[in-house]
């Protein structure tokens, strides 16, 4: 149903889009610096799931609605922007308690895991740029004559979260390694936590003022 040439062409385009540092990379790095390598990787996983839900939405027409409707696009954009700002504010507020977070037990972090996954999911699903990209580009790689277009879109669309998962995980590991050095000093850890929070706030503001490329 989906040919090897379709997969290769869409994979190449997706790879180019993802490896160029953008909002998702900045978000991943900020999370790694503020909450650590483990939580950054969980955030990447949640983000990938949210991204694939966008693929499903595109397959059934919702993505086209977001791409074509200024009102819907704006609603999705501001929802994602507001959540990023919220996460940034939380990181800034708790920057002085990061040293305590490093000493949390596994039991204390169990409930925390779902919250981190949720954060990544919300940011991934409400990313307006990826919705527009998927709605505008993905259908062009589908063979309409072969039928089952939604299924083709969902099969091809798997490439986006998979490639993003691999790429963003590398950024998370690199940033997490840098954070380990900052963690040797409570003062340095506080500074990097505050910087990560401010980065997320700035990213949210940037997303809020992003316009569609009509």
Residue 162's pLDDT band (cuts 50, 70, 90): very high
Question: What pLDDT does residue 206 have?
Answer: 75
| Residues 121-146, mean pLDDT to the nearest whole number | 77
Residue 50 within any structural domain of the chain: yes
Residue 13 within any structural domain of the chain: no
| Residues 175-200, mean pLDDT to the nearest whole number | 67
Q: Taking 50 as the threshold, does the pLDDT of residue 9 lie above it?
A: yes
Q: Taking 90 as the threshold, does the pLDDT of residue 77 lie above it?
A: no
Q: Taking 70 as the threshold, does the pLDDT of residue 196 lie above it?
A: no
- The better pLDDT of the pair 157, 189 is held by 157
For a pLDDT cut of 90, what percent of the chain falls above it?
9
DSSP per-residue letters across the chain: ---HHHHHHHHHHHHHHHHS--HHHHHHHHHHHHH-HHHHHHHHHHHHHHHHHHHHHHHTTHHHHHHH-HHHHHHHHHHHHHHHHHHHHHHHHTGGGHHHHHT--HHHHHHHHHHHHHHHHHHHHT-HHHHHHHHHHGGGGS-GGGS-HHHHHHHHHTHHHHHHHHHHHHHHHHHHHHHHHHTTSHHHHHHHHHHHHHHHHHHHHHHHTPPP--
| Residues 137-159, mean pLDDT to the nearest whole number | 81
Residue 214 within any structural domain of the chain: no
| Residues 173-200, mean pLDDT to the nearest whole number | 69
Question: What pLDDT does residue 140 have?
Answer: 76
Residue-number span of the structural domain to which 64 is assigned = 4-8+23-208
- The better pLDDT of the pair 23, 14 is held by 14
Residue 14 within any structural domain of the chain: no
Query: Nearest-5° angle of CA 108, CA 39, CA 158?
Result: 130
Question: What pLDDT does residue 138 have?
Answer: 79
Residue-averaged pLDDT of the chain: 75
- The better pLDDT of the pair 199, 110 is held by 199
Q: Taking 50 as the threshold, does the pLDDT of residue 145 lie above it?
A: yes
Residue 213 within any structural domain of the chain: no
The length of the chain is 214
Q: Give 39-76 pLDDT, tens digit per residue.
A: 889 999 999 999 899 899 888 876 556 556 666 667 76
Number of domains observed in the structure of the chain:
1
Residue 28 within any structural domain of the chain: yes
Residue 179 within any structural domain of the chain: yes
């Amino acid at each position: 149903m989906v040919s090897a040439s379709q997969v290769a062409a869409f994979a190449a385009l997706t790879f180019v889009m993802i490896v160029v540092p953008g909002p998702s990379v900045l978000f991943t790095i900020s999370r790694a610096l503020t909450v650590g390598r483990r939580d950054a990787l969980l955030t990447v996983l949640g983000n990938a799931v949210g991204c694939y839900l966008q693929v499903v939405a595109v397959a059934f027409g919702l993505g086209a609605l977001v791409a074509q409707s200024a009102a819907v696009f704006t609603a999705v954009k501001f929802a994602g922007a507001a959540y990023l700002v919220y996460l940034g504010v939380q990181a800034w507020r708790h920057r002085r308690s990061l040293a305590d977070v490093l000493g949390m037990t596994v039991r204390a972090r169990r409930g925390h895991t779902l919250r981190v996954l949720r954060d990544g999911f919300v940011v991934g699903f409400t990313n307006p740029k990826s919705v527009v990209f998927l709605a505008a580009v993905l259908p062009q790689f589908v063979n309409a004559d072969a039928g089952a277009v939604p299924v083709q879109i969902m099969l091809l669309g798997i490439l986006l979260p998979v490639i993003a998962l691999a790429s963003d995980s590398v950024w998370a590991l690199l940033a997490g390694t840098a954070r380990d050095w900052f963690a040797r000093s409570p003062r340095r850890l506080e500074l990097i936590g505050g910087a990560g929070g401010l980065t997320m706030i700035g990213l949210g503001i940037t997303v809020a003022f992003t316009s569609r490329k009509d």
